[in-house]
Structure 1
Amino acid sequence: MIATTRDKMIAGAADLMSRRGVNATSMRDVVRHTATPRGSISHHFPDGKRQLIAEAVVFAGRQVSGPLEKAMNERGAIAGLKAFITSWRRHLEATGFEAGCPVLAVAVDRYVGEVSDKGDARDEAAQQHLLDLANGVFADWQQIMRAALLREGLTPARAQRLATLVVASIEGTIAMCRAARKAHPLDQVQEELETILFEALGRTTP
């Protein structure tokens, strides 16, 4: 539940970024999308759009990492992977394949400053900061997957490689599903990733 105007704007920014990208998401768009007062921008985000986008990245990362860690801890690596992919499939289908991953949007869309940004635009610094945040989110998701694989007996090096493979595969496939307007690519990737994990963990595929 989004409790405050500030939280509502952060969640709304993440949603718009997932649909439009970073630069097509303006502060004015966020205000309209969230039905919040325009004065909320300067009050809650004194550094302007770059601050809002940065906080939206952190928010989006936590929205995934919380359920992902819970699934991995309670169900194990393979069942946790299924739950992870199922959540993305539901997200894609619920939005008519219009919304992808806002963290990926930050990674591929170069930031351009707005008038609302305080001081000079500092686009280069803002861009690097956003990339660092996105990289941190991806690393967090990989670490959750890695920890689950370590608990099931894999070596640290293999667990890290497979965790990277899982996150990279799903992120890339989300973009493919949006382009295809269907979940078939995600179904194919899920089947292959599960096969790889079963083999890595020395189990027989069902």
Structure 2
Amino acid sequence: MTTATTRDKMIAGAADLMSRRGVNATSMRDVVRHTATPRGSISHHFPDGKRQLIAEAVTFAGKQVSIPLEKAMNQHGVIGGLKAFVASWRRRLEATGFEAGCPVLAVAVDRYVGEASDKDDEAAQQHLLGLADGVFVEWRQIMRAALLREGLAAERAERLATLVVTSIEGTVAMCRANRSAEALDQVQDELETVLSTALARTAG
């Protein structure tokens, strides 16, 4: 295994554990065990410890959504992109037995508590919140850009983009609690209705 792949594996593994357990229940030791990587890799790849690994995992998790979301919006338009967005979350929920949710949301709702070597948990907390906010902003911007391309006014596109992202994020959490994708199906239907109506009025 090369140095690059070891580091990437640890980042992906941290994101996966965060999506299942939250931030504070994800320790460096757990990541090493989960990814079957050498314990010595921690200090080599992440000299700032857990806070650095979690930060890298947030950025990684954000791109895991934003890249295919932007591609789907560009190729299939707003409604097709929405369907692909929802389908990706449904697949993840069902593939993990509704155990895994969104690691970015985990950072937003779980107050960071560092390892023994950490010196300033509050600074780490603010940094991680900033990263999570940046990911949510990126997702909304992708949605907003797609709506603008289909003719919506900027203010309306902004509100609808926020509605879509917050609705899906909240519904993923509900599905985990309920162990069912039913709520996700319901929210998708309603979002499609809202977006289709808005786009039809613009076209008209």
Question: TM-score higher than 0.5 here?
Answer: yes
Partner of residue 13, structure 1:
14
Q: Residues 130-151 of structure 1, C-alpha deviation per residue, up to 9 Å, x if partnerless?
A: 0000000000000000000000
**Shift in Å, 1:113:** 1.1
Aligned residue identity for 1:70: K
Q: What number of residue pairs does the alignment pair up?
A: 199
CA distance in 2, matches of 1:16, 1:113: 16
Report the CA distance between 1:115 and its aligned residue: 2.1
Distance 2:112 2:84 in 1: 32
Alignment partner of 1:4: what SS?
helix
Question: Is 1:141 aligned to 2:149, yes or no?
Answer: no
**For residue 114 of structure 1, what is the aligned residue in structure 2?**
115
Which runs of structure 2 are paired with 1:63-142 in the superposition (5 Å)? 63-117=64-118, 120=119, 122-142=120-140
AA in 2 matched with 1:11: A
Shift of 1:187: 0.3
> In the alignment, residue 164 of structure 2 is paired with which amino acid?
V
Q: Which residue of 1 aligns with 2:200?
A: 202
Q: Is the 8 A contact 1:49 1:116 kept in 2?
A: no
TM-score (norm 2): 0.96
> How far is 1:108 from its partner?
0.1
Task: Decide which of 151, 154, 157 is 1:153's aligned counterpart.
Answer: 151
Which protein has the bigger helix share?
Answer: 2
Q: Over residues 33-63 of structure 1, what are the superposed CA-to-partner deviations in whole Å (9 max), with x where a residue is unaligned?
A: 0000000000000000000000000000000
Give 3-state SS (helix, strand or coil) of 1:47's partner.
coil
Aligned to 1:171: 169
Q: Could you say which residue in structure 1 is the equivalent of 2:30?
A: 29
Structure 1 residues without counterparts, runs of 5 or longer: none
Q: Measure, in 1, the Cα distance between the counterparts of 2:164 and 2:74.
A: 17
Q: Deviations over 1:104-159 (max 9, x none)?
A: 00000000110243xx2x11100000000000000000000000000000000000
Deviation readout 1:74-114 (Å, 9 max, x if unpaired): 00001100000000000000000000000000000000110
DSSP 3-state at the match of 1:112: coil
Give, in whole Å, the separation in 1 of the partners of 2:134 and 2:78.
21
Q: What residue in structure 2 maps to residue 181 of structure 1?
A: 179
Q: Partners in 1 of 2:15 and 2:184 — Cα distance?
A: 22
What secondary structure sits across from 2:113 in the alignment? Answer: coil
Partner of 1:201, secondary structure, is helix
Identity of aligned residues (%): 83
SS of residue in 1 equivalent to 2:200: coil
Contact 1:107-1:131 within 8 A present in 2 as well = yes
Measure, in 2, the Cα distance between the counterparts of 1:157 and 1:33.
Answer: 44
Q: Secondary structure at the match of 2:152?
A: coil
- Provide the C-alpha distance between the structure 1 equivalents of 2:69 and 2:114, rounded to a whole number of angstroms: 33
List runs of 5+ in structure 2 lacking aligned partners. none
TM normalised by structure 1 equals 0.95
Partner of 1:25, secondary structure, is: coil
Q: Which residue of the partner structure matches residue 52 of structure 1?
A: 53
CA distance in 2, matches of 1:190, 1:171: 12
